[in-house]
Chains A and B, each alone.
Chain A
Amino acid sequence: MADNIFLGREPLIGGVLIDRRRMVRAAERLLARLGVMIAPDTRIAGLRVGEQQLVEIAKALSLNARILIMDEPTSALSSSECDTLSKIVRQLAREGVAIIYTSHRIEEVLELADRVTVLRDGRRVVTARIDELSRGAIISAMVGREMAANERGATARDGAVVLSVQDLTLDTLGPHGWRRMLHGVSFELKRGEILGIGGLLGSGRTEILESIFGVARGWRTGSIAIDGAAVDISSPSDAYHLGIALVSEDRKERGLHLAASICDNVALPSIGALARFGLRTFARERALAADMIKRLSVRCTGIGQQAAALSGGNQQKVVIGKWLATEPRILLLDEPTRGIDIGAKQEIYRLIFDLAAQGLGIIVVTSEMPELLLLSDRILVMCEGGQTGILARENATQETVMRLAAPGMANWSQEAAS
């Protein structure tokens, strides 16, 4: 971590040797300022995306810049980390640093900004002081139209359990020996149900999905049953054959082949099933992709467009589309709306409701509390790898979820970091 923060500007002894002690101490100070309790000699690869983001912010702080540009600094942070960050941002502003802060989260903008500029489709729509703009005005400027409020549509739940997980445990071999990432996780997912998983960053939310999908690194115990029959899932290929789909947290790293076309991306998991004697059926692949982009209203020039050229929201739709094309029965969504604009978010919410209405069992992991409360029929709350409770929709509020997610509120940031 220290190496990353001071890359290219390492403190030197005699102009050649790196002064590690000074570097580590300086890094410690910076991280303490951010409220991150991670040892500065931890490897970046061992950190979660959110923690990496904090390191990146520490690096920016270490430059003591006069102008600080932050592009979606909180998109991967949990809410407690966001609070720390906003404190730092305000403090920096008081110290005379000019800050350009880009964000999809309107609450943040309203809270932090002095002046707001709204961009849409690469053009400036409006620039004004924050007190001149209401929340609704900002949203309509962003979307270009007034948004309707969200409503969870009527759900058709027939009560049949499609997925049941019993006593799931996961141990991962880290740099400091084996670590228990999950313990005692048990739940059931019914057809047409949306199960939300809440909890702080690093509480094991993603690991649950990865365990079900057969990609979790480490040693897994516990049983998973689909439609009541115990199954053994040891690879994504097994999961795929059982009708499970995972839309992962990091769409660029793990979801898309960016250099390939939309068509190739959407068809990728399905081409094996579409092909005969290993020969691809291009017409079927194109039809599949065209059908998907229509169904998900992906905004693009055509199915031949490169995935890298799409906006975040549309890329996310492509990733979801590629899994819907496999006709799954269980859909696992990890941060499905991370880093996408509010218009696309609404569309994805609507899509999730539609899919649930069609009888898919859906599990959603999200760091955004309003989203969690909006989407979920039930909420499973995680804390430090353990399951602290399952809340029904009626009982779920910000407060009840948070109480389960962080029982000891006092040392929050430590938990988020560990």
Chain B
Amino acid sequence: MKALVHLLSRTKLYWGLLLICLIGALISPHTSSGHNIFLSYGNLTDVLRQVSITGLVATGMTMVILLGGIDLSVGSVMGFSTVICAMLLTKPGWTSASVMGVPAAILVGGAAVALAARFVFAGLARGRYVSAGRRREVSLTRWQSMGIPGLLGLLAAIAIGWWTMNQVPAKFGVLGVLLIAPCLAMVLGGINGLLIVAGRLQPFIATLAMMVSALGIARLTAGSDNAVVPVYTGTNATEAFELLRSMLWGVLPVPSVFFLAAICLFGAILRFTTFGRYAYAIGGNIEAARLSGIKVAQVQLTAYLLSGLLAGIAGVLFVAQYRQGKPDAGTGLELDAIAAVVIGGTSLMGGRGGLAGTFVGVLIFGLLSDILQLQNIDSNVQLVMKGLIIVCTVLVQEQNLGQLVARWRFRRSGEAQADPRTAEPHRPPSAAKAQLAREDLDEAS
């Protein structure tokens, strides 16, 4: 019995998902031929497609929240990314998008390659020492830690520069935008991280500032306040961009492939790498983590960089999905993402939760709006329902179900025996306290 309650309590999130699926299947309308629309393959993949953008953003958000931070800027950063992506696709030459994007890609690409090279050297060196039975970390030679990685980074930067510059006079292709837009978003994420790590700003404040200014930057980039940059694949943009909204081998929508890949990749990173463990440790107790010799600043910066990166990718997918880029594309997205993360059981205090929960949280939202749409319910009712879902799931999440059951049983048994301790009347403490405090004060004055 106890084990069962424990099991139920641990897996309650999945039961919630199952419940929503059941409700959806039961009340779903049927086609004329008697097929259940909700359970049809097309409908379910559509849900996946629709949650992908929020899902990608929520993936980055999960890591930031695990660290005890928050990233309010993801919506604006995604909007910025859609503008960049749409402009790169449709406007040839040195537009504001390519002027910002090409240097950003060179910078981020070069830095990424250099860091990757250094990481490999560090891994090789440490491996040797562990096998020799020593545990103290080894320091790399200057050539290994700076020289070769720096050289490789420079080469990568030159290659990226050459490749992107060549595309500027014409329009950018799929790979071009998939490189440049996320790189620019990563720069914004990096600014967030630096403000928090080096400037010692509260994450809430720093990312709030970025949220406001990224929207401004996006509007300035697009050239007017409520600019919409339409993308018509085949006419004003490359036909190949259609790929990003198609079905992969007719099985899965491409956006959801990105989403699932991100969940799996970052889930594995959180579970199996030292970075993941450090993230949990910092979220759990930042002082203890710092005193344990963890480079807290590095981990925090990485998380905000990744959050920006994922928001940037989400922006490209948005352009593919809705065939336009606009500065306010991501308005409110950050809150949807935070809600999904919280429903997934990740604590806003940090240190507890994970990406499996976020995946379920995102799906719960997606399925809910799908069910309501199938019922033709007003979209404003959907908003109210969303709010209710957030409150209910978090209530269930926070209260340990096993504890709830135990408390309920204890109370019942207590009532049956008419426990004298609880039956005893006691005077209301507040009045008495107030009286005493007043006396104390009068004495003082």
Q: Using a CB–CB distance below 8 Å, which chain A residues touch chain B?
A: 6, 9, 11, 22-23, 25-26, 28-29, 62-65, 213, 215, 235-237, 239-241, 243, 246, 248, 253-260, 264, 268-280, 322, 326-327
Contacts and interface: CB of A to CB of B under 8 A. Distances in A.
Contact of A255 (B123, B291, B437): B291
Contact of B351 (A9, A235, A257): A257
B306 to A, nearest CB: 14
- Residue of B127, B292, B294 ringed by the most chain A CB atoms within 10 A: B292
Interface string B259-281: 00000000000001111110011
A306 to B, nearest CB: 11
A275 B273 contact: yes
A26 B274 contact: no
Given A241-B136, A260-B280, A278 B288 contact: no
Interface string B409-445: 0000000000000000000000001101111110111
A253 B285 contact: yes
14 contacts: A11-B437, A62-B437, A215-B291, A235-B295, A254-B285, A254-B288, A257-B281, A258-B284, A260-B284, A264-B277, A264-B280, A276-B126, A278-B273, A327-B136
A22 B441 CA distance: 7
Contacts of B351: 257, 259-260
A255 B277 contact: no
Chain B interface SS verdict (over half) = helix
Contacts of B433: 9, 63
A322 B290 CA distance: 14
Given A9-B433, A236-B290, A241 B137 contact: yes
B135 interface: yes
Taking each of A6, A9, A272, A322, which has the highest tally of chain B beta carbons within 10 Å of its own beta carbon?
A272
Contacts of B288: 253-257
A155 to B, nearest CB: 25
A369 to B, nearest CB: 27
B383 interface: no
A27 to B, nearest CB: 9
Given A271-B274, A273-B130, A280-B272, 9 more contacts: A11-B437, A215-B290, A215-B291, A237-B295, A240-B292, A241-B137, A264-B280, A273-B137, A275-B273
Closest 5 CB pairs of A and B: A240-B293, A277-B123, A257-B284, A26-B444, A64-B436
B94 interface: no
B135 A274 contact: yes
Contacts of A270: 135
B245 interface: no
Contacts of A279: 272-274
Contacts of B295: 235, 237
A339 to B, nearest CB: 17
B225 interface: no
Contact of B444 (A29, A243, A246, A322): A29
Interface in B76-132: 119-120, 123, 126-127, 130
A45 to B, nearest CB: 13
B289 interface: yes
B439 A9 contact: no
B437 A9 contact: yes
